[in-house]
Chains A and B, each alone.
Chain A
Amino acid sequence: MSAASYTLNFADIGKDLHDKVGGKCASLGEMTQAGVAVPPGFAVTTDAYQTMLDHHGLRKEIERHLTAIDAEDIDAVDRAAQAIRVRIRSHHLPADVEAAIRAAYAEMGDDLPVAVRSSATAEDLPDASFAGQQDTYLWVRGADDVVNRVRDCWASLFTTRAVAYREKNRIPHIDVLMSVGVQKMVNAKAAGVAMTLDPGTGDRTRIVIDASWGLGEMVVSGVVTPDNFVVEKVLEEIIDRKISDKHVELVGDEAAGEAIEREVDEHRRKQPSLSDAEVLAVARLAKRLERQNKCPQDVEWAIDADLPEGENLLALQSRPETIWSQKKVEKPKTSYATGMIGIVNTLNNPLASKG
């Protein structure tokens, strides 16, 4: 297998490579190719993962740990899962895989801080979190750490919960593959999530944005109550805003080489985390991604403090909204009246009287 197929620059990832890079990286690749501003980076492919498994008999060892376990016996599952994780973490990567990762990382710059995120290939399964795909390591710096974190992501395929889930649902463990994204760390001034429909009502004429100071993890995990903005999708106008008290933020600590949680200064806590122009920029980005993907989207974004205004909004992830999109659209009770009948109905029941 050639080294080139162990890593893929986001700019080289098209839709057909989904199996090789997982959902998250595929989406980053598609966005990059479509000209959406995305922090640069690369995917460590599932080929790399498979090569690792085949190296020094790792695959066999994993299979051995898992062949005879009873999914109902949580202790047994836990023991097996832990053993596998330890095994993966201590496993030396095949030299060519490691070299490929190091080379791709070196190409990004000198010891550039990056985020390392898992990107599983089985995200469309109903409970995608089983795959440990939430694993994210922020402010990783230096090739050694990057390599370690890639391995940690792979190990996260074997959390107790993920193993139990697969056992229960009879999903062969070895069939779930994992890619890992390595992406330039955003120095987020503010970040959050944008949905291209109103998650409360399913209203597709709205874009709802949650935003807070620092990195978006605080918004996603629910540690802070974010600012909430509602934008009319077509007119691109802010129609509602709730500014909340955002007491903590997650920011990069360059010296420590990690993202740290810190108190937000008093004067910023109740300030809007986005200006009106930024709210609209986020909304337009979400709208563009919805159009590109042809279905309502759930977009993670960040405003990078290091980039000039106008170029500082970055898309971190875009995935299809799943809850409302799966619901049947309720049709108006009566069938549509057209022509003169429509006009007679309108006169007989003017809208404002319908309440």
Chain B
Amino acid sequence: MNVHKSMFPSAFEVETPEGAEGWKDLYPYYTHFQPARRAVDDATFWFCNSQHWPTPFRPFDTIMLDFAIKGLGQYNTRHLVVPPANGVDYRILNGYVYFSPVAVAPEKIEARVPQFMERAGHYFMNWGDLYANWKKKVMAKIEELEAIHFEELPEVEDIEVVTGGKGLDSTNQLFDQYDKAIELAYKIWQYHFEFLNLGYAAYLDFFGFVKEQFPSIPDQAIAKMVQGVDSELFRPDDEIKKLAKRAVELGCADALKSGSADEALAAVAKAPGGEQWLKQWEDAKNPWFNFTSGNGFYSTDKYWIDHLDIPMGYLRDYIERVEQGEEIMRPTEALLKERDRITAEYREMMDEEAQGVFDQKLGLARVVFPYVEDHNFYIEHWAIGVFWRKMRQLSSLLARHGFWKNEDDMFFLNRNEVRDVLWDYSSSWAIGVPNRGSSVWPEEIERRRKIYKALSAHRPLPALNNPPDVITEPFTIMLWGITSDAVKRWVKSDEGGSGLEGMAAAPGVVEGVARVLSSPDELGQLQKGDILVTPVTAPSWAPVFGKIAAAVTDIGGMMSHAAIVCREYGLPAVTGTGNASSKIKTGMKLRVDGNKGTVEILD
């Protein structure tokens, strides 16, 4: 065992938060740091993936972790044979997930190159066709998910079951539908990774080349050259903007201004022009309101389509701005022109040979990058949104049968326990006795809820054990922005001082007052001119970017959502500060320097 003190603690020495005793039971055995494997696990560097999972897991929610990590791994290790990298191993500690990318032994890398060239090469060569096909595959799965339906078991089976000589009962559909939903989520997560790492690799190849040409070029400049303006991730926000303009044009905006979303929609239906407007609203809803205010990884995510008050709130903001004469649509033409200007000006400074290489690499990066942005809408927002809705329907059904009280309590069970509950429901129904779960789960869920709360009250450690001397694993760098420098920053950020450092994600410098938000439910508190400080932002927060003066996040890199949107809105952003949202308090005066990546607390 290591005798020297490591940079970060060992998982085996991290204390359980008070009140969270027994937390391990909430998560599967393969996510535990096992004492029997201590030597190996202690010799490994683990970093907390709070970028994707900023809060602890409810037991059911580890499904997204399992499927995502498995999907990521399979493409690197088994499909594409990425020369230096296999998948990413993971553990859960105190409810938070820790990652450790698995590097390929240096002596084995060379032998993997030819396979990778053939396989990845095929994707790059046929990107357009494969991507078009990908969309079809995903849409088909979404349709299947939409069709999932859980029916309550009948008092007695229909007569046709008997007369038709069917010989089977209604419980089969419950199991089928549940298994089918899980299977669809599993497949959707595999699709998620089919192109993703290749997309990042091509982007990084361009990035590295430009950095070699201009060592001091800001990362955000490179991002600006690649980033498109018509990402489907912008569509939901654009649709709301169009609806706001339309409401003002049609003269039915006033009807939308008060009450709940349902009340407003009822009011607008009666207003002149309201019918026309409602049609546009309905058209926009599907698919564009399949949009979460989180990131899709939690059962608690609120999707617009299920919570119309969220888009209604944004709509009202936009209506107000339109009425004040503001132009709210994104200036896409100007943005494209600006992208061309930036690209041309850097290109101009290269010699002719380099210009040729630049064109080739930029060309590929621009071909692949739409996937890197758009997949998020199809998978995390749309498909996963449907999945969670179906699971909530199942949870409600089981709640009606007394397994638990609240309609979302099911998520305190893991997915295998839910299947056990279906068995309990089915067999007790068949036998003709009360189900057994009603006397087990309410109490157990209560116990788990307390543990979950205790876990949530604690922030995770950024990492465990010692980082390697140099971090070279490409996906650690690409997907999580974890470099040797970032690790040094984490250590430093614990040492205090009035400043914070992160990534210079979008240019500009402003001073203003901080508004610290810890969840999307608090978005309504934002005032015009506030500096948004938050652990992480999501694409569906786009409407608030028209209000704020700058954004500061704990987590995220150059291509994180906050970075992309801030660049587009011309707002300074500093991302990946590690702990801005806990160090900064609402009301503090800040100076945000998006050129240097620093945040200063001025008072």
| A residues apposed to B, CB below 8 Å | 201, 203-206, 232-235, 237-239, 276, 329, 331-332, 336, 338-340, 342-353, 355
Contact = CB atoms under 8 A, between A and B. Distances in A.
Contact of B208 (A338, A340, A344, A351): A351
B82 interface: yes
B472 A350 contact: yes
A351 B473 CA distance: 11
Given A237-B595, A338-B361, A352 B354 contact: no
A276 B116 CA distance: 50
B507 A347 contact: no
Given A238-B509, A340-B124, 6 more contacts: A201-B216, A205-B346, A232-B221, A339-B360, A349-B472, A350-B473
Task: Give the interface centre of A204, A349, A353 by most chain B CB atoms within 10 Å.
Answer: A353
B109 A235 contact: no
13 contacts: A201-B216, A232-B507, A234-B346, A237-B218, A331-B351, A336-B353, A338-B360, A338-B361, A339-B360, A343-B201, A345-B205, A348-B109, A350-B472
Contacts of B218: 232, 235, 237, 239
A331 B351 CA distance: 10
Contacts of A347: 82-85, 201, 204, 474
Contact of B201 (A238, A329, A346, A352): A346
Contact of A350 (B208, B209, B345, B361): B208
Interface in B301-339: none
A332 B212 contact: yes
B485 interface: yes
Interface of B is mostly: helix
Contacts of B485: 352
Given A238-B595, A239-B596, A329 B351 contact: yes
A67 B30 CA distance: 98
Contacts of B212: 332
A338 B357 contact: yes
Contacts of A232: 218, 221, 507, 595
Interface in B69-110: 82-85, 109
Contact of B205 (A201, A332, A346): A346
A329 B212 CA distance: 13
Contact of A237 (B113, B215, B477, B507): B507
Given A336-B353, A343-B120, A353 B204 contact: no
B211 interface: yes
A346 B210 CA distance: 12
Interface string B355-377: 00100110000000000000000
A280 to B, nearest CB: 11
Contact of B470 (A205, A239, A338, A355): A355
Contact of A352 (B224, B483, B595): B483
Interface string B488-532: 000000000000000000011100000000000000000000000
Nearest to B220: A235
B217 A348 contact: no
B125 to A, nearest CB: 9
A226 B453 CA distance: 57
Contacts of B211: 351
B430 interface: no
A234 B221 contact: yes
B117 A344 contact: yes
B495 to A, nearest CB: 23
Contacts of A342: 205, 209, 361
B62 to A, nearest CB: 29
B29 interface: no
B214 A352 contact: no
Task: Give the interface centre of A233, A350, A351 by most chain B CB atoms within 10 Å.
Answer: A350
B602 interface: no
A340 B470 contact: no
B440 interface: no
B349 interface: yes
Contacts of B360: 338-339
What 7 pairs across the A-B complex have the smallest Cβ distances?
Answer: A352-B483, A353-B472, A346-B205, A237-B507, A336-B357, A351-B208, A234-B345
B182 interface: no
Contacts of B216: 201, 203, 205-206
Given A350-B208, A351-B207, A204 B120 contact: no
Nearest to B344: A234
B202 interface: yes
B471 interface: yes
A352 B208 CA distance: 9
Contacts of A235: 218, 220-221, 224, 342, 507
Contacts of A203: 214-216
A336 B484 CA distance: 26
Nearest to A351: B208
